[in-house]
Amino acid sequence: MARMNYAQAACAALDDAMRRDARVVVVGEDVGRGGIFGQYRGLQQTFGAARVIDTPISEATIMGAAVGMALAGLQPVVEMRVVDFALCAIDELVNQAAKARYIFGGQGRVGMVARLPNGLWSGSAAQHSQSLEAWFAHIPGLVVVAPATPQDNFSLLRASLACGDPVVYLDHKELWGLEGEVAPAQTARLGEAEIVRAGHDVTVVTWSRTRHAALEAAALAEKQGVSLEVIDLRTIWPWDREAVLASAARSGRVLVAHEAVQVAGFGAEIAATLAEHSDARVRRLGAPRIPVGYSKPLEDESRITLQAIAAACIELRNARPAHRG
């Protein structure tokens, strides 16, 4: 066990992977100086500039080169700085990386991890604060991962490197300094959620930074006699349908809460699945369909707060139960 922050945990996972496997390389802007969030600190000094590769400012070039590296047998970790910038590389990711295994009948696989820091970033406005996980979950061939804790940023990054398919890895832009215990021997499986708090009145399904708001909301709701079960999906695709459906069967009420815009967010997929396969009453809570503002009052309109989660859960708990067959 070691105590480290979210950025250090990812860096430790990469250090471990690069020591074990000479095929693992890092490619992207500013990675040589440690990355803009410190998530690569010290790696170039340890492994050299041939394995931690600084690039020009051209996201399409970076992603395209990484696809070629992967097809040639390397395991690139691609740094896009923030998910918003990755839109400049969408063709290489969506039309090349995601489809290569299918198009070539399994003869070519793009085993790479594309790190696209996701979510609202305080004071950074509309072009640096998007949550785009639903975009990538929609694309066949992509795995989508959203770690919320230092332990998961260690374990899920290692699992992503072992996946063998292209992984969209959504570190959160505001979790880098979050500290926690990290056990290097602890593993994680892609597609396996974590029940981070047991409860019986309402199930809260969430991921990434909203996990922490949901846990705080659970403590607030408990003071009002409402017990929340909090599930962190951890991976958006594949997502753990079985864990969510089992919890919904126990509670009969589910809130899906996420930082992304609610309209067509991934919460809609979860809500639809619950509607088709359970009798639970379901509600979604996401950001309004507006660009994230630069000023704090406007930015706060896009935030999903613990108070909003608690209020929605209490309202769900007090509503009439859904009809059960």
Burial of 157-196, coded b for 16+ CB within 10 Å and e otherwise, reads: bbbbbebebbbbbbbbbbbbebeeebeeeeebebbbbbeb
Cα–Cα distance, 143 to 205 (Å, whole number): 19
**Does residue 49 sit in helix, strand or coil?**
coil
DSSP H helices in 21-113: 43-47, 59-71, 90, 100-103
What amino acid is encoded at 160 in this protein?
S
Q: Specify the residue for token string 């890895």.
A: 169
Torsional sign, CA 225, 266, 119, 165: positive
Cα–Cα distance, 130 to 138 (Å, whole number): 16
In the set 128, 172, 212, 258, the catalytic residue is: 128
Q: Which residue from 175, 40, 157 is spatially nearest to 121, judged by alpha carbons?
A: 175
Give the distance from CA 46 to its chain's centroid: 28
Cα–Cα distance, 82 to 79 (Å, whole number): 8
Q: Which two tokens stand for residue 271?
A: 């809500």
Cα–Cα distance, 318 to 325 (Å, whole number): 20
Torsional sign, CA 86, 155, 98, 29: positive
Q: How many CB atoms lie within 10 A of CB 17?
A: 19
With contact defined as beta carbons under 8 Å apart, do 207 and 169 qualify?
A: no
Active site includes 128?
yes
Residues 6+ apart with CB under 8 A from 163: 111, 143, 190
- Which residues belong to the active site? 128
